[in-house]
Amino acid sequence: MANMIGNMELPFWLESSWSQVQQMLTDDRLPHGLVISGMLGLGKRQLADTLAASLLCHAPVMPQQLACGQCKSCLLRQSGSHPDLKYLQPEAEGKAILVDMVRQIQPWLAATSQQGGAKVVLIEPANELNANAANALLKNLEEPGQNTFFILLHHWPKPLLPTIRSRCQVHTVLAPAAEQVQPWLAQQVPEAKAEQLIQVQQMAHGAPLLAADYLRHDAPAQRHQTLVDLTAILRNQISVSEVAESWAKDPLPRRLDWWLQWQQDLIKLQQTQDSQQVINQDVVKLLQAIARKAEIKAVFSLYDDTLQALDSLYQRRNINQQLMLEKLLYGWYQLI
Ligand SMILES: [Zn+2]
């Protein structure tokens, strides 16, 4: 089992989160609806699993309140068949959580727990509850029943419906400091070079698990190709539609996210003329060349369009990716 509670260790940056949760458990003031909020790659699910395990365990280990890993309830949970634990998740990644899924667990919510302890519902991602599903859930959040707990994972930057948020307490998980992430990353992926550690840490906005995933899946190479394509467009070596076609084949949000970071650097460079302000130092020469020629208004307009495009991708609005990319890349082409 991946999730061996008992000797389970949370990564270092979740320790303060756990001590807050632990305090709430000790004081008996854990909210019935707890939203765990933050970027992807921070281990929010691991925190949620640890809490669910603790709530279900018949004899949590004090003072940390971690599940014992040995009682009947822990064994049931580890085998994936705990009758008092339910997951509310989309049928496939990127799909919504539908109202029927909420309705399906409502009789179970109304019944008493089978193991005589808590009942726990883990909702992931809570930002994928569609409006009907959220409405169906509101009453349960308002009147959860005794010893029933909802743990909702909210992945940034997607929005969480305010009706859900307002009925829960929110715990935010933040990225740890860069100087703490790099040694941790080096332990996880020992073959990585020092400069790769710094690079993926920036690419992942400091989220350690995402940075490790980037290292393992060669995301630096994809980022490099993104840069090569963007440079080639400016040099008239490749057409906007060719690049759009090749980009549309990969998961798009992270590519747009890197591009957006470079645009932010470009804006800083134009406003301050100070290359030390640039976070992505490996692209500083290209950005300086653009900064000299581009109109700041055009850069801002491209930045807004890219932000909007990312937003539509996150909200899964029906969009033609190829067209959207062509528009953005054309805006880039026109900068100089
Ligand atoms: Zn136990």
Whether the Cβ atoms of residue 299 and residue 335 lie closer than 8 Å to each other: yes
CA of 112 to the centre of ligand 1 (A): 20
pLDDT at 94: 77
**Closest CA relative to residue 82, chosen from 118, 46, 51, 48:** 118
**Interval 128-176: pLDDT, tens:** 999 999 999 999 999 998 899 999 999 998 889 999 999 999 999 999 9
Among the residue ranges 43-52, 164-173, 243-252, the one predicted with the least confidence is 243-252
pLDDT at 319: 81
DSSP letters, 145-180, are -TTEEEEEEEETTS---HHHHTTSEEEE--PPPHHH
pLDDT at 5: 41
CATH class of 12-172: alpha beta
The CB density around residue 223, as the number of other CB atoms within 10 Å, is 25
Distance (Å, whole) CA 267 – CA 56: 51
- 314: tokens are 């996150």
CA of 116 to the centre of ligand 1 (A): 13
Whether the Cβ atoms of residue 295 and residue 334 lie closer than 8 Å to each other: no
CATH topology of domain 218-333: Zinc Finger, Delta Prime; domain 3 (1.20.272)
For the chain, the domains span: 12-172, 218-333
- 183: tokens are 């040694």
CA of 38 to the centre of ligand 1 (A): 28
Whether the Cβ atoms of residue 280 and residue 262 lie closer than 8 Å to each other: yes
CA of 263 to the centre of ligand 1 (A): 50
With tokens 């509850």, the residue in question is: 129
For 191, phi and psi rounded to 5 degrees? -80, -5
Q: Has residue 107 got a pLDDT over 60?
A: yes
CA of 72 to the centre of ligand 1 (A): 7
Residues contacting residue 203 through CB under 8 Å, at least 6 positions apart: 211, 214, 219, 220, 223, 254, 258, 261
CA of 149 to the centre of ligand 1 (A): 17
**Closest CA relative to residue 211, chosen from 1, 11, 4:** 11
The CB density around residue 74, as the number of other CB atoms within 10 Å, is 23
**Interval 276-309: pLDDT, tens:** 999 898 899 999 999 999 999 999 999 999 999 9
pLDDT above 70 as % of the chain = 97
CA of 126 to the centre of ligand 1 (A): 27
Average confidence score pLDDT of the chain: 92
The CB density around residue 138, as the number of other CB atoms within 10 Å, is 15
CA of 81 to the centre of ligand 1 (A): 14
**Interval 184-234: pLDDT, tens:** 999 999 999 998 999 899 899 999 999 999 999 889 999 999 999 999 999
CA of 211 to the centre of ligand 1 (A): 33
**Interval 3-14: pLDDT, tens:** 344 446 799 999
Ligand 1 (ion): residues with CB under 5 Å are 57, 67-68, 71, 74
pLDDT at 251: 78
CA of 138 to the centre of ligand 1 (A): 30
pLDDT at 312: 84
CA of 74 to the centre of ligand 1 (A): 4
On the CB side of 194, how many CA atoms lie within 13 Å of its CA? 1
Show contacts of 59-64: CB within 8 Å, 24+ apart: 60/25, 61/6, 63/22, 63/26, 64/18, 64/22
The residue-averaged pLDDT of 29-54 equals 96
CA of 59 to the centre of ligand 1 (A): 5
CA of 17 to the centre of ligand 1 (A): 21
How far is the CA of 132 from the CAs of 36, 128, 161, 194, 197, in angstroms? 22, 11, 11, 48, 43
Task: State the amino acid at position 127 in one-letter form.
Answer: N
**Interval 21-39: pLDDT, tens:** 999 999 999 999 999 999 9
Q: Has residue 70 got a pLDDT over 60?
A: yes
Whether the Cβ atoms of residue 68 and residue 7 lie closer than 8 Å to each other: no
CA of 87 to the centre of ligand 1 (A): 19
**Among positive and negative, which fits the CA dihedral 260, 261, 262, 263?**
positive
Local structure of 69: helix, strand or coil? coil
The residue with greater pLDDT, 209 or 320, is 209
Residues contacting residue 64 through CB under 8 Å, at least 6 positions apart: 18, 22
pLDDT at 313: 83
For 310, phi and psi rounded to 5 degrees? -60, -45
pLDDT at 8: 60
pLDDT at 7: 44
